[in-house]
Structure 1
């Protein structure tokens, strides 16, 4: 292994450590607790080393968002692959999405609430974000109904799921009714 290869590998490992540490800290204490000083202390590198990887907290949030989008896409695909029939797949998708949001609130915020400096729904949208939307579209596009663009239907269904996730987490919707909300959403919107 060349010196350059070793340095690239070490740099990638430091980046993974920074992102993992930021994510862990945010999940435990919230994003306000994630500071470059605190991260540098936790990973036992100086702040200049941290800044050599990320220009600041915004880029770290973006890195967590990209990692989370990849995980969300995988969770949705795994859930929908395990069931048959378009409506059952949509229900599985909804549950996987809401479960991901509930289990990973800081990551969910990084993807959908916080400014990580990422472009959404544009030409330069990073691939993990495009793939997360594609994972939703794969199941939702099949139940959009005649005359409805699958992408538009997916956006509306996703917006509903996002509303349920954020309103439930904030205590504005009681969690015990989540199953009924999913059932209503699937029954009213998913045309087969």
Structure 2
């Protein structure tokens, strides 16, 4: 292995450490607790080393969001692959999405609440974000009503899931009605 390859590998490992540590800190204490000073202390590197990877917290949030988008896509595809039939797949998709939001609140915030400097719904949208949307559209495209564009339908259904996830997380919805809400949403789909 050449010196250049070793340095590139070490840089990539350091970057992964920064992102993982930021994510862990955010999951434990919230994003307000994630500062470059605290990250530098936790990873035992200086702040200038941290800044050699990321220009600041915004880029770190973006890196966590990209990592989270890839995880969300895998989660959704795994959930739907175990279900048979379009409605069962949509139910599994919705459940997988809501479970992901509940179990990974800091990642969910990085993806959908905080400014990580990532372009959404544009030509230069990073591939992990496109993959997460595609994981939704693969299933929802099967139940799109006549004359409705699958991408548009996916956006509306996703917005509904996001609303449920956000309202549930902030205690604005009764937890015991979560399953009834999910079924109500799925039952409103066009018949297939």
Scaled to the shorter chain, the TM-score interval is over 0.9
SS in 2 for 1:189: coil
The aligned residue for residue 103 of structure 2 is 103
Query: Displacement of 1:190 after TM fit?
Result: 4.6
* Structure 1 position 176, deviation (Å): 1.2
TM-score after normalising by structure 1: 0.99
Q: Give the structure-2-normalised TM-score.
A: 0.99
1:188: which partner in 2? 188
| Distance in structure 2 (CA, Å) of the matches to 1:190 and 1:109 | 31
Give the superposition deviation at 1:62. Answer: 0.1
Once the two structures are superposed, the pairs formed by residues 31-110 of structure 1 within 5 Å of their partners are 31-110=31-110
* Alignment size in residue pairs: 192
Runs of 5+ consecutive residues of structure 2 not aligned to the other structure = none
RMSD: 0.6
User: Could you tell me whether the CA contact under 8 Å between 1:87 and 1:190 is conserved in 2?
Assistant: no
Aligned partner of 2:152 in structure 1 is 152
Following TM superposition, by how much is the alpha carbon of 1:189 offset from its aligned partner in structure 2, in angstroms?
2.4
Q: For 2:70, what is the secondary structure of its paired residue? A: helix
Write out the 4+ residue segments of structure 1 that deviate beyond 3 Å after TM superposition: none
Are 1:144 and 1:191, in contact at CA under 8 Å, matched by a contact in 2? no
Shift of 1:73: 0.3
CA distance in 2: counterparts of 1:5 and 1:115, whole angstroms? 33
Structure 1 spans left out of the alignment, 5+ residues: none
**Residue of structure 2 equivalent to 1:179:** 179
Structure 2 CA distance, aligned partners of 1:157 and 1:175? 20
